[in-house]
Amino acid sequence: MEKYKILIVDDESIERDAIKFILSKALNVELEFFEAANGQEAISSAALNSPNIIMMDIQMPGLNGIEATKVLKKILVNSKIIFLTAYDQFDYAHEAIKLGVEDFIVKPATNERLIEVVNKSIASIQHEKEQAKTKEMMASKLEQVSKYLENEFLSSVINGDIEDDQGKEYLDFNGISFKWGMGVVVSAKADETIVSSGLRLQVMRRRLLDAIDSRISKIVSSKYSVIIKDHIYLLILGESQNELLQIQEKIRRILNEVNGLFAAEHQLYSDFGIGDICKRLDCLWKSFSTAKGNCNKRIPMKDARNEQDLQALVKSLKDKDEVAFDKYIDLVFDDIASGSENLEMIQIKLYEHFVLIRERVSDNIYASDLYTYDLFNQTMKVGNYHEAKCLLRDFCNQYMEKLDQQKADKTSIILDKLIVYINLHYAENITLDQLSSICDLSPSYISKVFKKHLDTNFIDYVSSVRTMVAKRLLKNSLLSIKEIGYEIGYVDSNYFTRVFKKYEGMTPSEYRNKWYNGDILEKEGDVIEEEL
């Protein structure tokens, strides 16, 4: 049974109770009631609970029902508002109805009138929900029909089964004026030993198309796409031949990047071709034929040994292991060169490896030149095998240096931040979990940072800071030992004494006595104390 929320707004609690009692007994629906004594409370409650029906008294202290309704109509456009009014406020109620309220009830009202108006509002809500559902279904069906017509149109273009005028008529209907176009075809296959399910392969191709579509949509004004068997077809439209020539290069970059990602993450291996630019729709089948002919010429990187070599190379970058780097840079380039029939294939596979390395390193080195489109241009300009290998080595060397610098900078910043926080909050119960929330790093990593860079653990560092403060207070204040312990974060004075003795070799009392007797000279260069 559907639940309806009703907000009753009246400055008389007895009126609110009476309405709840009558409606609860009479209505055959599940009800949830909320109450408010004035217009301001009504607005707050409505914003929090989103009632379906609001029963609003007009005359209330403070913000009256009319003013409250003006606000509620803006924040809850679908809620039904019913006004409650006395006889001498009848004209006032008519003015309120202009705001778009559902109905009004003149007080004192009969039970029948109250039930009738609320039932009417519930029926109106149900009717609007059914209309919205019908509208949603129609929109879904229209979208399905539109997609079917789009697929039929593109299939006809691909197969050459469409006249130029017919195609332009379809595009005109969609608000598109055809001037120039070209075909793009992507072949997507999977390693059957890894992806054996035909259904899963279809889903993966669909995801591949979605990834390509989302990127290409940013650089073209109009396009159509469809999956037919193991190929993805894209019709790219443009205003001029020159515009499409410029777009071709961008599409190549996008497809190289996306194909590399799916090969690495999903073992879906893709190739692509881009056809000639055409001025007539009925000639575009030639463009698609050329594009399809250019597919499946490149060897997918799916050999297990190649994959292991690439993973080992990435690990050497992260670890800055130069010995392993020298070994695996040679093996990875051998993987690239083996089976490549010409320099063009070397260039293509080299760039695919760049994309894979970038994704597997997965560090945010966005400021680096490694992420500009210049890398693609450099790859396509290499003139021989030696230049290709040097470019791979330079690319990986840059990554290694960037990662090492990023790691050092990050650790230094984190450590400074943690030290400052501890020096300011040493008297509090500081925990590794608390520090973790400050710098967004795991407690175990923070513990390692302290051990590696300060040669101490987190607990000992906090204790040393507290001890330094205690020494200063023992020398320069009249506070008791117990008060000093409490001041630096120790509730138990005995525990404070034990910790102090661990670091200074004497109790706080002995330290204070020796200081006043001149047996302890003030140390110079006390880093922690200076920072405090």
In-domain check, residue 216: yes
Q: Are 197 and 254 contained in the same domain?
A: yes
Q: Are 509 and 439 contained in the same domain?
A: yes
Predicted TM-score (pTM) of this structure: 0.39
pLDDT score at 91: 64
Q: Are 45 and 116 contained in the same domain?
A: yes
Q: Are 24 and 93 contained in the same domain?
A: yes
Q: Are 122 and 203 contained in the same domain?
A: no
Distance CA 104, CA 499 (A): 76
Tokens 């009202």 belong to: 109
Containing structural domain, residue 31: 3-129
CATH of the domain at 454: 1.10.10.60
In-domain check, residue 48: yes
Average pLDDT over all residues of the chain: 82
In-domain check, residue 182: yes
Q: Are 193 and 84 contained in the same domain?
A: no
Q: Which of 402, 404, 406, 419 is nearest to 453 (CA)?
A: 419
Distance CA 73, CA 250 (A): 49
Average pLDDT rounded to a whole number, residues 239-262 = 89
Question: b/e map of 481-508 (b: 16 or more CB within 10 Å)?
Answer: bbebbbbbbbeebeebbebbeeebeeeb
Rg (CA), the chain: 37
Distance CA 530, CA 133 (A): 70
In-domain check, residue 138: no
How many structural domains are present in the chain? 4
**Residue % of the chain over a pLDDT of 70:** 87
In-domain check, residue 149: no
Q: Are 282 and 364 contained in the same domain?
A: no
Q: Which two tokens stand for residue 118?
A: 């609320």
Q: Running DSSP on this structure, what letter comes out for residue 299?
A: P
CATH of the domain at 106: 3.40.50.2300
Question: Would the pLDDT of 253 be above 70?
Answer: yes
Q: Are 392 and 431 contained in the same domain?
A: no
Lowest-confidence segment of 82-86, 280-284, 306-310 by average pLDDT: 306-310
Confidence band for 216, pLDDT divided at 50, 70 and 90: very high
Q: Are 118 and 22 contained in the same domain?
A: yes
Question: Would the pLDDT of 249 be above 50?
Answer: yes
Q: Are 27 and 69 contained in the same domain?
A: yes
Final residue of a structural domain among 271, 293, 315? 293
- Contact between 195 and 204 under an 8 Å Cβ cutoff? The reply is yes
CATH of the domain at 233: 3.30.70.1230
Average pLDDT rounded to a whole number, residues 55-70 = 88
Residues in Cβ contact with 285 at an 8 Å cutoff, skipping those fewer than 6 apart:
157, 158, 159, 160
Residue 82 burial by CB count (10 A; 0-12/13-18/19+): exposed, middle or buried? buried
Question: Would the pLDDT of 269 be above 60?
Answer: yes
Confidence band for 407, pLDDT divided at 50, 70 and 90: low
Residues in Cβ contact with 234 at an 8 Å cutoff, skipping those fewer than 6 apart:
183, 184, 185, 186, 212, 216, 223, 224, 225
In-domain check, residue 370: yes
Final residue of a structural domain among 378, 406, 434? 406
Question: Would the pLDDT of 526 be above 50?
Answer: no
Average pLDDT rounded to a whole number, residues 179-200 = 79
Average pLDDT rounded to a whole number, residues 487-514 = 90
In-domain check, residue 411: no
Q: Are 122 and 14 contained in the same domain?
A: yes
Q: Are 251 and 368 contained in the same domain?
A: no
Question: Would the pLDDT of 523 be above 70?
Answer: no
In-domain check, residue 352: yes
Residues in Cβ contact with 6 at an 8 Å cutoff, skipping those fewer than 6 apart:
23, 31, 32, 33, 34, 51, 52, 53, 54, 55, 118
